[in-house]
Structure 1
């Protein structure tokens, strides 16, 4: 994994990839979070230890958000959720990262946030290898297409 300083030795997102890397550039990476309740759950993680979006240069903020939106589009195309939740909390891990979470009306927590009280039994599901590869390809296609945009940032 490409790391750019600063790095924090006790930060989980500095010391691990944070999931299976689907795409990365010098500023950030996109990872798939293995969660059987939320297939297609991805994170966009900054490659250096910064706590808040507002601590980034405006161009870097824009770059991160373009990546978040590209991941959301890919998730919608491949996973076809009822809704997508975007979240940047970082209370437990104060490192800039965004959650891109496909939601389904019958998922374990819907309509609550996934960190809230469960509404029903979990219906374990996972991305099959074909869907996982399709998601990776869709993310890469959107982000590689957008490299011209990123070059100007």
Structure 2
């Protein structure tokens, strides 16, 4: 993962696998494993961060849908997968494949361009530094 920005309660990362262009992960900053372990205030802040991150992805890449997932079987730290989906793209109409056999990795300059597009959107929301 490549760090994009620290938000109110979480850190926003670009996923190295870009099978779904714009795929990101949002990790809660404090160590928690489950949503129910969050206080009401923490939960509200985290869900606000999820919505903000998803909006930035939507505005930057214009996917037809965004999928959200919380797993944690392997990485036992609370995080959301935020996965843009595109008609005729990978996994359209199905749940996204979290760990595909063949991953789409990019050049550093391509990752930087994706991050730049997301930060432009965060900046418009008054978030990016």
TM-score between both structures, scaled by the size of structure 1: 0.68
Q: Which runs of 5+ in 2 are unaligned?
A: none
Query: Does the residue aligned with 2:120 lie in a helix, a strand or coil?
Result: helix
Matches within 5 A, 1:4-83: 19-25=1-7, 27-83=9-65
Matches within 5 A, 1:103-142: 103-115=85-97, 128=110, 129-142=112-125
Tell me which structure has the larger Cα radius of gyration: 1
Cα distance in 2 for partners of 1:26, 1:66 equals 9
Q: Which runs of 5+ in 1 are unaligned?
A: 1-18, 146-153
Structure 2 match to 1:10: none
Residue 140 of structure 1: CA displacement? 4.5
Q: CA RMSD in A?
A: 2.7
Greater RCO (CA < 8 Å, at least 6 residues apart): 2
TM-score between both structures, scaled by the size of structure 2: 0.80
Cα distance in 2 for partners of 1:88, 1:81 equals 20
When residues 125 and 79 of structure 1 are mapped into structure 2, their CA distance, relative to the original with a 3 A threshold, is: farther
Residue 93 of structure 1: CA displacement? 1.9
Cα distance in 2 for partners of 1:111, 1:71 equals 22
Deviations, residues 92-145 of structure 1 (Å, cap 9, x unaligned): 2221101110001222222111227x8xxx8x5859444430212313443629
Residue 91 of structure 1: CA displacement? 2.4
